[in-house]
Amino acid sequence: MYSDKVMDHFQNPRNVGEIENASGVGTVGNAKCGDIMRIYLDIDENQIIQDVKFKTFGCGAAIATSSMATELVKGKNIHEALQVTNKAVMEALDGLPPVKVHCSLLAEEAIHAALWDYAEKHGIKIEGLEKPKSDIHEGEEEESEEY
């Protein structure tokens, strides 16, 4: 059901932990399953992501996608990091079962939330970054079942 890469990142997640005095911190939840993701970014004066860590109270797919997402944004600048979508993360993991696709949104949204926090702290605007949701289902119709 899961690719070898998903299993690898689930069993040996990269970049787990937290960063003290992080440049930006983002937390996003998924009210439907109750899972929560928090991402810490350490961004230098050239707007390059020097370090990234995550913590999650989440399912295996959320752990694997967050692990891969942190690997993909590390070393990138804040604009490049915005291009790391959940689709890009899933491709890097050789796919996810359809019922688990929503889990990959937690990492994407948490990275966006952390970038938003960084931008607010530094009084800058990041082109293309929208105000993050605190829950990935925010704004959806109650009965919509997209997944």
Question: Could you list the residues that contact ligand FES (CB under 6 A)?
Answer: 30, 33, 35, 58-59, 61-62, 103, 106
**Which CB, 78 or 136, lies closer to ligand FES?**
136
Single out the catalytic residue among 3, 5, 16, 33. Answer: 33
The CA-based angle 27-33-35, given to 5 degrees, is 30
CA pair distance 72, 104, nearest whole angstrom: 13
Residue 57, token pair as written in the block: 């109270």
**Which CB, 103 or 113, lies closer to ligand FES?**
103
**Which CB, 49 or 106, lies closer to ligand FES?**
106
Examine the residue annotation and report whether 59 is marked as an active-site residue of this protein. no
- Residue 101 beta carbon to ligand FES: minimum distance, rounded to whole angstroms: 10
Examine the residue annotation and report whether 103 is marked as an active-site residue of this protein. yes
Decide: 52 and 39 in contact? Cβ < 8 Å: yes
Q: Give Cα separations from 102 to 11, 21, 59, 71, 98 (angstroms).
A: 20, 30, 11, 19, 8
- Residue 87 beta carbon to ligand FES: minimum distance, rounded to whole angstroms: 16
Cite the active site residues. 33, 103
